[in-house]
Structures are given as structure tokens and as C-alpha cells.
Structure 1
């Protein structure tokens, strides 16, 4: 391991820790309540954010949550019993913004996980969960990153999903060994 590799690795870990520590506990609890009340949980984002959301959807599925990624061929209809989770740091990404508007028209709750509290998404959002990291919005209070573009948001989003999955396991008193029955087995 080179010194440069280790230096960068530790910098990334430090940035992720700062970002996750900055997420408000009351927002996390409100998020978990919305998840528990939902029939189905839909996820929408683009690019690397979508990859993080797909990983969260997969993990939540292991926990018995009906998780759906918008645009997948098996996507069912969204209803007023469901929630749409929108991942967008800036809150201005066109595709998620349009989907959020449509979900709201159909009566679903909308949760925006992002960095910019004053985004266009706010008009559709029932809950804004802020990961206050550097975004295209360039707010003064955002946590700066040495990483390119929005890497810190994408990493923090993935880790947020894993942290909340652990909270769901505890809340539902799930047996970790029994969770393997939900894991893919066509591998």
C-alpha cells in the first residue's frame, strides 16, 4: 500500500464520518417511520446516486421491505400507501424531479435525501433528509470534499442506507442468520 493510497483512503473515511455525523437524528427517525408505514418503497436517482439507491433497495428487500427501483421492468404502480425515496444532492436533477411530481400527484409520500434544502424538489417533499455535503448547489454550510464532483454524497448515501438497515434490523428484532433466506441464491 502506497502512502498516497492510504492518505486518500483515510481522507475518504474521514469525510464520510463527518457527513454521516451531520445527519439530524430526528430526520432519520422520521425517515424510518415513513418506511415502516409504507406498503412499498420506491427509489429514484441517476448515475452513481442511483447505484447507491439500488444497493439500499436490495438491502431493504433482505429485511422484508417491498423495495422498487423506478424504471425497472418489474416496477408496479405507486399508490397513496407508498413512498418514493429521491436521491439527489442538488435536488435539481430533472428525471427524479419529474418522477417526484408524478408520485405526489398519485398520492404517494416523497422523501428527498440530498444536500440542498431549498431545491425545486422541496415543493413535492414530505420529508427532506439532509446529508450536508458539497453539491452543485454550493451552499456555504456544505461539508467540503477533496474528492471529485459528488463522490462524498454518493458514498454517504450508501452508508446511510446501511446504517438505517441496521436500525431496521434492531427495530424489527430480525435474526441476522435468518436474513440469508432473502439473499439471492441463483449465483
Structure 2
């Protein structure tokens, strides 16, 4: 039991240290991009993709037109829309190709990544640098006891929830109002 408590405490310390290093102006720029987009499309691979799916769900709860790339009900992206990609390395080929395609169609691209100089970081008009370790541990500023990209993925979820809170504040929304868009068939 004591080991579990120590591990949880260590994870929380890593998250706090990492999140304090994220630049507030980058979060603000991403929130502004989301607020002004016609529709928001999200993408990520693996566990990062799961964090992005959670973000799309919260955006939908707020009344945004939000879609997960690759789902059968996702429409095409167009000019005025926003593609938000979460990728630790910023070099996942499929995601980089997706970002390039979105830009060629006139959509904006935003990225949350460890490496600002990455392909995705360079394609993005709004880039949030998350100073965590990538899954291979080769880049990033944070030392972590956690495996692979865990610190990035956890930080990604918390940063995306921070953006949701920022947008809720801008729209003067409370959680109860968002419940109207919550799933109700289960």
C-alpha cells in the first residue's frame, strides 16, 4: 500500500512540474483557435488519440461541432475548420500527412507536442509545447519514472481540460448546462 501511495505522489509531482512549464499564451492561442473554428476535428495515435477523443466529447458537450478523425460519421474538413492533433514526438507520419492535407484544404492546424520543431509543430498555427518525455524517451525536458509517453498523455488530458474550462468561462457555461448534450440512451 505504501508503495502505491508513493508512486501516485510521484506521478502528481511530475504532472505539476510539467504543467507549470507550459506557456499560458500557447494555451490561450489554442483556446482562441477552437472558439473561432467552424468545426473542430481531433486526432492522435494510441493513448494520445484517446486523450483527443475525450477532448472532442467535452467540446460536443459544450455545443461545438467536434469530430474524431477516422470515425465513420466524421464529415470532411473545410476552410475555417480546425484540426487539433496530440502527438508527443510530433513526427507520427499519418498525423503529419493529415495536418498537411488539412492545411491544403484551408483548415487551420493546432498541435500539442513535446517537440515544437517537429513536423507537426511546424505545420501548426497554434502549438502548445508540453515539456514531457516522448514514448522513446529521446526528447523532452522532463525526467519521469513513468513508462514511455505516460507523462505526455496525462499532461495532454489535463491541458485539454484546462482549455475546456477556459472556453466554459468565455461562454459563461456551467457543467449542468453541458449535461443537455450528454448521451442519454444508456
Q: CA deviation at 1:154?
A: 0.5
User: What pairs with 1:143-182 in structure 2 (closer than 5 Å)?
Assistant: 143-182=142-181
Structure 1 segments, 4+ long, off by >6 Å, are none
Distance 2:64 2:74 in 1: 15
User: What pairs with 1:40-51 in structure 2 (closer than 5 Å)?
Assistant: 40-51=39-50
Distance 1:147 1:125 in 2: 28
Query: Which position in structure 2 is the counterpart of 1:68?
Result: 67
Q: What is the TM-score normalised by the length of structure 2?
A: 0.95
Q: CA deviation at 1:94?
A: 1.2
Query: Which position in structure 1 is the counterpart of 2:113?
Result: 114
Distance 1:127 1:170 in 2: 20
Q: Partner of 1:86: helix, strand, or coil?
A: strand
Does the 8 Å CA contact 1:90/1:137 hold for their aligned counterparts?
A: no
Q: CA deviation at 1:167?
A: 1.2
Q: CA deviation at 1:137?
A: 6.8
Structure 1: unaligned runs, 5 residues or longer: none
Aligned residues: 185
Does the 8 Å CA contact 2:115/2:121 hold for their aligned counterparts?
A: no
Residue 138, structure 1, aligned to residue 138, structure 2: yes
Distance 1:176 1:117 in 2: 33
Deviations 1:17-51 (A, max 9, x none): 11111110111111111111101111111000000
Q: What is the TM-score normalised by the length of structure 1?
A: 0.95
Does the 8 Å CA contact 1:116/1:137 hold for their aligned counterparts?
A: no
Distance 1:122 1:107 in 2: 17
Deviations 1:142-184 (A, max 9, x none): 1111000000000111111111111111110013222111111
Query: Considering only aligned residues, what root-mean-square deviation do their CA atoms show, in Å?
Result: 1.2
**Bigger shift: residues 176-185 or 35-44:** 176-185
Structure 2: unaligned runs, 5 residues or longer: none
Q: 1:122 to 1:114 in 2, by over 3 A?
A: closer
Q: Partner of 2:116: helix, strand, or coil?
A: coil
Q: Partner of 1:177: helix, strand, or coil?
A: helix
Distance 2:157 2:47 in 1: 10
